Amino acid sequence: MVNPVGHAGRAFQDIIGLDDGYFPHPKQGGRTILAGVALDAELTPRSTALTWVTVDGTDATEKAAEVVNRLLGDTVDPGTPLPVLLDGVTYAGFNYVDPWALEEALGARARVVVYFRWLPDAGRVREALEKHFPDHRVRWSVISGVIRGAQSLIVGGMRVHAFAPSMGWDEVVGLIVNSCIRGAQPEPLRLAHMVASGVARALGSGGPGGPTLGRS
């Protein structure tokens, strides 16, 4: 039996993971899938929600809030803040989710945790942003803030990293450790990646006439 997700006496009834999908050629203006998966305390999938996110765009925070809001309606206790796991801070190339802005958009209903299997090379990220994006200072401000604030922990003998704007570190550690079934990747993120990549490959690159996506 999987331990309830949480630590130090705190048990979360549900947990949400977000990840983006496959896109063959990083190209501004293209789109890929952003998938959210809600799991219960036994880490059994409860529901999924999908939307499009712009490759190298600036809409990932807004789209993440959209996906999480859809999933919050299926939770066991809507009055309890739910942990929302993000697979890194960059999505769909150099689009990005601002974890502070996402928490503000979701209010008291959710707490955001950014998970990194490996921390990005900050120097290379900054160089790429400065080379390709006129708004590189805005993107770098968010991305570098998360990277600088990330702390390390050991999961299954492997070092991983995480950042949380408001959740206590003991809770973050318990959340990640207890949500891992296979290796050091939290189950909500593993499933979100599978869903996003599978749907993105099936649908191909998302143009303006792409299908409308919702919840299941």
**Per-residue model confidence as pLDDT tens digits over 4-54:** 444 444 456 789 999 998 776 555 458 899 999 999 989 999 999 999 999
CB 83 within 8 A of CB 75: no
Of the two residues 210 and 156, the one the predictor is more confident about is 156
Query: What's the CATH code of the domain at 150?
Result: 3.30.2170.10
pLDDT of residue 7: 44
Q: What is the pLDDT of residue 182?
A: 82
Is residue 216 a part of any domain in this protein?
A: no
> What is the per-residue pLDDT for 80?
77
Is there a domain that residue 28 lies in? yes
Calculate mean pLDDT across residues 197-216: 63
Are β-strands 14-20 and 82-87 bridged in parallel, bridged antiparallel, or unpaired?
A: parallel
Choice between 84 and 182, residue whose per-residue pLDDT is larger: 84
Burial of 165-174, coded b for 16+ CB within 10 Å and e otherwise, reads bebeeebbbb
Residue 153 in any domain: the answer is yes
The boundaries of the domain holding residue 185 are 5-203
The DSSP call for residue 180 is: B
Structural domains in the chain (count)? 1
Q: What is the mean pLDDT of residues 197-209?
A: 69
Q: What pTM value is reported for the model? A: 0.88
Give the DSSP letter of residue 107.
Answer: G
How much of the chain, in percent, has pLDDT values that exceed 90?
72
65: confidence class by pLDDT, cuts 50, 70, 90: very high
Residue 131 inside a domain? The answer is yes
Domain for residue 210, yes or no? no
Q: What are the tens digits of pLDDT across the range 90-116?
A: 999 999 999 999 999 999 899 999 999
**135-189, pLDDT tens digit by residue?**
999 999 999 999 999 999 999 899 999 999 999 999 999 999 999 998 899 999 9
pLDDT band with cut points at 50, 70 and 90 for residue 201 = confident
d(CA 44, CA 134): 43
Asked if residue 73 has pLDDT above 70, the reply is yes
Q: Is residue 215 part of a domain?
A: no
**Do the domain assignments include residue 214?**
no
> Residue 208 domain-assigned?
no
